């Protein structure tokens, strides 16, 4: 059984996260945890935690924030498909794909691929009133010692979330063409997500600390779409979420996989506070580049690559990578320590321990 020896703490998680968003000095870096279920269960077992209990793992690592949300309890919108899992809210389909480390649920059988305009426009979207908000208070009480967020990396995530339903090729083509039925569908989904957030925030004023959004905008080497297209189609939708957060005086963090820094000036202009994931191997996404171009204007979460030493290196190489990243990102404050994405199933559990122990050893502000 392994144990993380935590850094000495002189402030609460809420204080630590708030100060990090505001580029103020903290006792240590904030800490985040993202992982695939298979490796999470192996890691939990390595920590001596039974049944893969996520909360106990996060407590063991010193994770500073927790998310709250409302489950969907409305009418059934989609039929089951044999041999597939179907998402009850979005209607996308996944199938189990085995690999040498276990497996994962991968997207397939996109229901709106090659669909006509009527089918796209009429694809079911839940009503915000069909979510159960009654348990939010219990969640807030349970996590009162942590910074609390609403949303996640999949909100609104326009390209990805539409791609899961329509297929990526049709999604990109229809967005570029501003296909009327597709844009109607996208906006219906975004309005639903906004409606859910508005209801949560209205019922729990001053109890939620930040909003988490997502939009993957880059491949590993270049933008996925043009800046002009982003500004014309995606940015107005993103701004609705950012404006909602602003109205409750909350910061917003946006998850952006791949080479995405080309859009960060527009993020800053909208009032986004932080960016997440930050794959250092992608073009114009290294810690040094990000800190030089956007330091003091955006706070950063991530940069510990899930495709680098963490997955393929030794314990010593993992620690070296963490220390080098901290040396860059901690300058000027505003750094949330986290992996670049979900930790993958082929990652040695010893390296995960080394990663988080290094955060506690070297992520202390003097």
Average pLDDT for 83-91:
97
Q: Which of 339, 274, 268 is nearest to 310 (CA)?
A: 339
Average pLDDT, integer, range 325-352:
97
Other Cβ atoms closer than 10 A to 119? 13
Measured between alpha carbons, how far is 62 from 355 in angstroms, rounded to an integer? 13
* Each residue's pLDDT tens digit, 163-203: 999 999 999 999 999 999 999 999 999 999 999 999 999 99
- Across 150-170, average pLDDT: 97
Per-residue pLDDT reduced to its tens digit, 258-268: 999 999 999 99
Identify whether the C-beta of residue 343 lies closer than 8 Å to the C-beta of residue 306. Answer: yes
Query: Is 227 exposed, middle or buried (CB count within 10 Å of its CB: 0-12, 13-18, 19+)?
Result: middle
**Whether pLDDT at 1 is above 90:** no
- What domain range is 49 assigned to? 13-75+120-362
Mean pLDDT value of segment 139-164: 97
pLDDT for residue 347 is more than 90: yes
pLDDT mean over 324-336: 98
Has residue 95 got a pLDDT over 90?
yes
**pLDDT higher than threshold 90 for residue 101:** no
- Residue 275 backbone phi and psi in degrees, to 5: -125, 150
Q: Report the number of distinct structural domains present in the chain.
A: 1
The tens digit of pLDDT for each residue in 217-255 reads 999 999 999 999 999 999 999 999 999 999 999 999 999
Residue 336 domain-assigned (yes or no): yes
Whether 245 is covered by a domain: the verdict is yes
Residue 97 lies in a domain: no
Closest CA to 89 of 193, 213, 237: 193
Residues belonging to the chain: 366
Maximum separation of any 2 CA atoms in the chain, in Å: 61
What was the pLDDT predicted at 72? 98
Residue 91 forms part of a structural domain: no
- The DSSP-derived string for 50-108 is GGG-HHHHHHHHT--EEE----B-S---S---TT-EE-TTT--EEEEEEETTEEEEEEE
Tell me the CATH number at 33: 3.20.20.210
Q: What is the mean pLDDT of residues 86-101?
A: 95
> Is the pLDDT reported for residue 358 higher than 90?
yes
In a domain, 172, yes or no: yes
Q: Is residue 206 part of a domain?
A: yes
Q: Are 287 and 309 in contact (CB under 8 A)?
A: no
Please say whether the beta carbons of 99 and 345 come within 8 A. Answer: yes
* pLDDT the model gives residue 28: 98
DSSP run (H or E) holding 338: strand 335-339
pLDDT exceeds 90 at position 102? no
Question: Does the CA dihedral 347-351-356-362 come out positive or negative?
Answer: negative
Is there a domain that residue 98 lies in? no
pLDDT digits (tens, 9 = 90+) for 20-74: 999 999 999 999 999 999 999 999 999 999 999 999 999 999 999 999 999 999 9
Alpha-carbon span 99 to 242, nearest angstrom: 39
Tell whether the model's pLDDT for residue 287 goes beyond 90.
yes
Query: Please, which residues bridge with residue 149 across strands?
Result: 67, 210
> Residue 229 contacts by C-beta under 8 Å, 6 or more apart in sequence?
175, 176
Residues forming a β-bridge with 93: 86, 108
% pLDDT > 90, the chain: 98
Residue 341, pLDDT above cutoff 90:
yes
Helix, strand or coil for residue 255?
Answer: strand
Q: How do beta strands 147-156 and 102-108 pair?
A: unpaired
- Is residue 93 assigned to a domain? no
């Amino acid at each position: 059984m392994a144990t993380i020896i935590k850094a000495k703490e002189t402030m609460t998680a809420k204080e630590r996260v708030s100060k990090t968003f505001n580029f103020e000095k903290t006792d240590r870096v904030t800490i985040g945890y993202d992982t695939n279920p298979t490796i999470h269960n192996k890691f939990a077992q390595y920590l001596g935690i039974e049944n893969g209990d996520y909360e106990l793992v996060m407590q063991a690592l010193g994770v500073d924030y927790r998310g709250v949300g409302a489950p969907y309890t409305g009418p059934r919108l989609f039929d089951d498909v044999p041999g597939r899992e179907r998402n009850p809210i979005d209607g996308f389909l996944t199938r189990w794909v085995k690999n040498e480390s276990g497996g994962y649920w991968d997207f397939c059988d996109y229901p709106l691929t090659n669909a006509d305009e009527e089918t796209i426009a009429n694809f079911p979207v839940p009503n915000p009133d069909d979510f159960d908000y009654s348990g939010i208070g219990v969640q807030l009480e349970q996590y009162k010692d942590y910074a609390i967020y609403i949303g996640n990396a999949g909100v609104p995530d326009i390209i990805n979330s539409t791609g899961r339903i329509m297929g990526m090729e049709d999604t990109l083509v229809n967005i570029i063409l501003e296909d009327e039925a597709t844009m109607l569908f996208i906006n219906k989904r975004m309005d639903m997500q906004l409606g859910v957030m508005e209801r949560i925030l209205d019922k729990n004023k001053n109890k939620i600390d930040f909003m988490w959004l997502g939009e993957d905008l880059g491949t590993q080497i270049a933008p996925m779409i043009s800046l002009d297209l982003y500004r014309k189609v995606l940015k107005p939708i993103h701004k609705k979420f950012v404006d909602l957060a602003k109205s409750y005086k909350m910061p917003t963090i946006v998850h952006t996989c791949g080479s995405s820094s080309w859009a960060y000036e527009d993020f800053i202009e909208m009032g986004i506070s932080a960016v997440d994931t930050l794959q250092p191997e992608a073009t114009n996404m290294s810690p040094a580049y990000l800190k030089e171009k956007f330091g003091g204007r955006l706070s950063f979460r991530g940069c510990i690559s899930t495709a680098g030493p963490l997955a393929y290196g030794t314990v010593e190489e993992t620690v070296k990578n963490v220390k080098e990243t901290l040396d860059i990102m901690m300058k000027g404050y505003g750094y949330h320590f986290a992996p670049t994405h979900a930790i993958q199933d082929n990652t040695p559990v010893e390296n995960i321990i080394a990663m988080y122990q290094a955060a506690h050893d070297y992520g202390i502000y003097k």
